[in-house]
Structure 1
Amino acid sequence: MSSIRPRRRAAAAAACALLLPVLSGCFSGPTGGAADGGSGDRRLRVAMAFPPAQAMSPYGDDAVLLSRLAVVESLTALDENGTAEPALATSWKRNGDSGWTFELRDADFQDGEPVTAEAVARSLTAAAEAPTAPRVLSDTDIEATARDENTVEITTDGFDPLLPQRLASPSLAILSEAAYGKKGKADPAGHATGPYTLRELDGTATATLERHDGYWGKKAQAPGVDVRFVADGTARANALRAGETDVAEAVPVAQAAVLDEKLVHEVPTARTNSLYLNTAKGVFADAGMRAAARTAVDGQALVDGVYEGRADPARGLLGPALPWAAERRVEPEGRAAPAKRAEVRRADEIVLATYTNRAELAEVAGTLQQQLERAGFTVRQVVRDYAQMEADALDGAYDAFILPRNTLLDTGDPVSYLGSDFTCDGSFNISQLCDKAVDRAVAEAAGIAGTERRQQAEMRAEAEILGRDAVVPLLHERFVQGVAEDVEGVSLDPMERTLITAETRVG
């Protein structure tokens, strides 16, 4: 705490004083905070940073939201080392180079229908055929068939040693037949398998979850969860301070400094905050301009000035949460020479974009704007709620986009992230990068079964990507979660897949 500067402490405290009256009652409701019995029987109140971007569709980032709220499950899960472990599947084995067999556990969906091999095959097929394929499938195709009631066969279009980890993705959640009412759509509300059922979604404002009493595992400790989606980080922290919420996701660094230390839990993550540059059009279609932007950026200044030391300066795309990365890192070769300052000054205005849901990003954007302008760029900022920006970012509407990405989110192995974000067919390619050498390097890594050899190939792929200056790694984040003193069982997950669990309770 002593490293926090007094100026920031004072500013944060002043913000708290102004906002507390406004927040009073914001986190209460018909059930929010009402006792349902004795200790441990009260509904949970949770303030989430990101509202649903696709009405809780499992095929985009909302899948992670559903996973963090313990609504959906997949065939497998990931342990703390990123290794696949049983979830709806109890065991699996490989059949040749491209086939796998999965045995299912005895479980029911939240609407009472049994989890069968036919249901699993239907869910995986729907995900594979979705209009926008989940990122985890951006570098592979899968085909699932029911062999008998409890056995599923899954084949891939090539050798895929990471399939068990891939199937742990929340985007490949298993849903009942009733979830698929419209072609290309999937509704998880009441049709998933997790310990909590999504009963009601009020747009991007609130969600109501109820305990799934038919859950196959340990019964949820709380009778339900009342969720508020609060993009303002100060508001989330104030709600925690005022006792109006039990869990506040992603507490801003400035607020962590003035909260009671018993409420603050800092978690190292695999999340790298990077500056994605549009390689397809505009100023940064020119490699020299991208190199000029890279040399203008000072990540250490962001760590010190914005994150108050609660982050690590970037050395590449893969940070300290993956200790093997530093040992195997390969330096990029053949980078373009930075454009001269006179050329930069003559370039068109660039649009630097980021979003409001993570409190530090607006300040990161301000600092980066200053750094880029000192190098000669003319910069205009666009900062809005993430739900309003994702589609435009993926369409290449911005010249530069500041985005923290969890490099282990999709498979527990970074090769899926490299494929989705930086290959020609990648489904989350904000940089619009399409380079044959990068595609070859990522494909090589994806096809290696041995862990050490795959990691070495992944670092070669990282070097190819960084060599194009399509992305400038800024820093590696630490996640700060706010949890009330009387709340137990919150998952502080470095992979950010879990938050509320069956074990989470009050008292």
Structure 2
Amino acid sequence: MKIAHALRAGGTSLALAAAMSGCSPSTSSTTDNGGRIRLAMLQPPRSGLTPFSDDAFKLSRWATAETLVTLDENGEALPHLAAEWKRVGDKAWEFILREDVEFHDGTKLTAAAVANTLVRATKAAPKPRILDGVQLTAEAEGEHRVRIATAAVDPLLPQRLSSPQLAILAESAYRADGTVSPVGTGSGPFKLVAVNGTSTATLDRFDRYWGKRSTAAGIDVSFVPDGTARGAALRTDSADVVEAIPVSQAPLLDSKLIHEVPMPRTNTLYLNNATGPFSDPGLRAAARKALNPGDIVKSVYEGRADVAAGLLGPALPWAAALRASSQSISEPGSPAGAKIRLGTFSDRAELPEVAVLVEQQLEAAGFVVEQVVREYAHFEKDMLAGAFDAVILSRATVLDSGDPVAYMFSDFSCKGSFNIAHVCDQEIDRALEKASSTEPGPERRAAVMAAEAEILKRDVAIPMLHERVIQGEATGVSGVARDPRERALIMAQSSASRGAH
């Protein structure tokens, strides 16, 4: 199998090398620590790089579009384009802007520009998901002061404003036809100067950046959906930084060039609490006892994942220390002959393989398993309708605010919009309400973990493993972010040292 991977990589690497080898006309040399960074990315733009879509995360990873605040590793808000902020009522906040920020089109960062972006975000279709269920208003109060309010009390407003989907662009970014163009309208250390459809993008150093001037002269981006080709790009020195190298490619690469980054993503077995065998808490406890996630990590992920101790993994560094006991409150029942319908989807290549092992482990305990695997587009409707007794899902546990409460509410509360476990438990809801209403900080984190314990001890869902992403960095690359939230990648201090090409 490894030989086949290597043979396939040969052809794809030549094409990628050709695509990435040409120097940008704006800087024709790549001298030590002063050249351009060649970046191979997993997915091409899906929405024309509009910041109100998931494409915003590309703009953030290229350090071209910036937000009012950023987050530390614990999810706490830190100043960025906003120098400071304060609450001016239960539902309103006042943000004071930096006065030395210039957009790439030459205009200045002002309160009017900030209000323009935020108001447009509230009217976008579809709306940025960070604003789902949030009614937000923004008004300029002078040149550098913005008042931002919500219809309901929202202690997480500063964290919401860290979402790349709320990056502040110059007013020239917003076109009369309703489209938004980030080309030449951001404020970061790199200026986006060209986008070639879904093939490439080019960014140059922005010399008038308000912060530290970038080390690299620019970034040359290639979109490379094929995982074998991305692995080959690193192996053949066709790229300096490579996103999301598949596990299958890792053994073919120099271990010094790959770095595993824990992701806030948990592979979980959701059990249907409302109907079928798993409406019996004893059978849910039996399923939990039957699973051996360590075998799944070893065989499917080749050891490049973390066995789950809870819903929240090592990408949230505070979770493990605060984890409360989640021992099952039910004694395992006898699964002998219990028929269950196990479903998952094929869009994520590893999930069908995980399903095979889960089926084997459940059958070894006495369950009778029917396995169903479909493309997600043909799977979600039945999943949400409760057509399966158990579902294997790879789920992001930290959404755009950097806080896990929204995910837990969505998946495990009585009114959750993604409640595929079909659970409705008053103790869980009370714990989630407490976590949601607690101000950000240590007390909120403790409340989050108390809610996790309430979910786990009822065997509502069984977390199996926490995923990692493999990031490639060529020899001579330094200063690149390894960000579990996938917001940051190329930074002002990033550089790639190599000879001329």
**d(CA) in 2 for partners of 1:433, 1:126:** 36
**d(CA) in 2 for partners of 1:112, 1:398:** 56
Larger radius of gyration between Structure 1 and Structure 2: 2
Structure 1 residue aligned with 2:339: 344
**1:381 aligned to 366, 369, 373, which one?**
373
* Unaligned 5+ runs, structure 1: 1-10
The question of 1:486 aligning with 2:476 is answered: yes
Stretch deviating more after TM superposition (430-439 or 174-183): 430-439
**d(CA) in 1 for partners of 2:269, 2:43:** 20
Structure 2 residue aligned with 1:172: 166
The question of 1:150 aligning with 2:147 is answered: no
Structure 1 residue aligned with 2:432: 442
Aligned-residue offset at 1:334: 7.1
Aligned-residue offset at 1:103: 0.9
SS at structure 1 position matched to 2:15: coil
Q: Is the 8 A contact 2:74 2:317 kept in 1?
A: no
Structure 2 residue aligned with 1:211: 205
The question of 1:88 aligning with 2:78 is answered: no
Q: Is the 8 A contact 1:41 1:221 kept in 2?
A: yes
Q: Deviations for 1:31-73, whole angstroms, at most 9, x for unmatched residues?
A: 6456723333433221222333433333343322321222221
Structure 1 residue aligned with 2:65: 72
Stretch deviating more after TM superposition (175-184 or 59-68): 175-184
Inter-CA distance 475–279: structure 2 relative to 1 (3 Å threshold): same
SS at structure 1 position matched to 2:233: helix
**2:47 aligned to 43, 54, 67, which one?**
54
Stretch deviating more after TM superposition (368-377 or 116-125): 368-377
Counterpart amino acid of 2:493?
Answer: E
Aligned-residue offset at 1:288: 5.3
SS at structure 1 position matched to 2:51: coil
Structure 2 residue aligned with 1:21: 11
Aligned-residue offset at 1:240: 0.3
Structure 2 residue aligned with 1:497: 487
Counterpart amino acid of 2:339?
Answer: V
Q: Is the 8 A contact 1:408 1:417 kept in 2?
A: yes
Stretch deviating more after TM superposition (364-373 or 80-89): 364-373
Q: Is the 8 A contact 1:19 1:235 kept in 2?
A: yes
Q: Is the 8 A contact 2:271 2:278 kept in 1?
A: no
Aligned-residue offset at 1:502: 1.8
Structure 1 residue aligned with 2:452: 462
Structure 1 residue aligned with 2:253: 259
SS at structure 2 position matched to 1:188: coil
Counterpart amino acid of 1:36?
Answer: S
Aligned-residue offset at 1:148: 0.9
SS at structure 2 position matched to 1:274: strand
**d(CA) in 2 for partners of 1:184, 1:432:** 39
**d(CA) in 2 for partners of 1:95, 1:110:** 32
SS at structure 1 position matched to 2:435: helix
Stretch deviating more after TM superposition (117-126 or 178-187): 178-187
Inter-CA distance 112–93: structure 2 relative to 1 (3 Å threshold): same
Inter-CA distance 182–432: structure 2 relative to 1 (3 Å threshold): farther
Q: Is the 8 A contact 1:31 1:226 kept in 2?
A: no
TM-score by length of 2: 0.82
Counterpart amino acid of 1:503?
Answer: Q
Q: Is the 8 A contact 2:20 2:222 kept in 1?
A: no
SS at structure 2 position matched to 1:377: strand
Aligned-residue offset at 1:366: 4.8
Q: Deviations for 1:69-107, whole angstroms, at most 9, x for unmatched residues?
A: 222211011223433222111111222332211111132
**d(CA) in 1 for partners of 2:363, 2:199:** 37
**d(CA) in 1 for partners of 2:279, 2:201:** 45
**2:93 aligned to 89, 93, 100, which one?**
100
Counterpart amino acid of 1:67?
Answer: S
**d(CA) in 1 for partners of 2:156, 2:318:** 20
Structure 1 residue aligned with 2:420: 431
Q: Is the 8 A contact 1:431 1:470 kept in 2?
A: no
**1:403 aligned to 394, 398, 401, which one?**
394
Aligned-residue offset at 1:353: 0.9
Structure 1 residue aligned with 2:326: 331
Structure 2 residue aligned with 1:4: none
Q: Is the 8 A contact 1:276 1:403 kept in 2?
A: no
Counterpart amino acid of 2:372?
Answer: R
Inter-CA distance 201–435: structure 2 relative to 1 (3 Å threshold): farther
Structure 2 residue aligned with 1:5: none
Structure 2 residue aligned with 1:127: 121
Matching of residues 253-332 of structure 1 within 5 Å: 253-275=247-269, 287=279, 291=284, 297-320=291-314, 321-331=316-326
Counterpart amino acid of 1:431?
Answer: I
Q: Deviations for 1:122-179, whole angstroms, at most 9, x for unmatched residues?
A: 2222223333443433464332211111101112334333322221111211123333
Stretch deviating more after TM superposition (192-201 or 472-481): 192-201
Aligned-residue offset at 1:433: 5.7
Counterpart amino acid of 2:40?
Answer: A
**d(CA) in 2 for partners of 1:463, 1:255:** 37
Structure 1 residue aligned with 2:237: 243
TM-score by length of 1: 0.81
Aligned-residue offset at 1:491: 0.9
Aligned-residue offset at 1:118: 1.5
Inter-CA distance 40–204: structure 2 relative to 1 (3 Å threshold): same
Q: Is the 8 A contact 2:328 2:459 kept in 1?
A: no
**1:477 aligned to 457, 467, 476, which one?**
467
Structure 2 residue aligned with 1:452: 442
Inter-CA distance 55–99: structure 2 relative to 1 (3 Å threshold): same
**d(CA) in 1 for partners of 2:424, 2:183:** 40
Structure 1 residue aligned with 2:345: 353
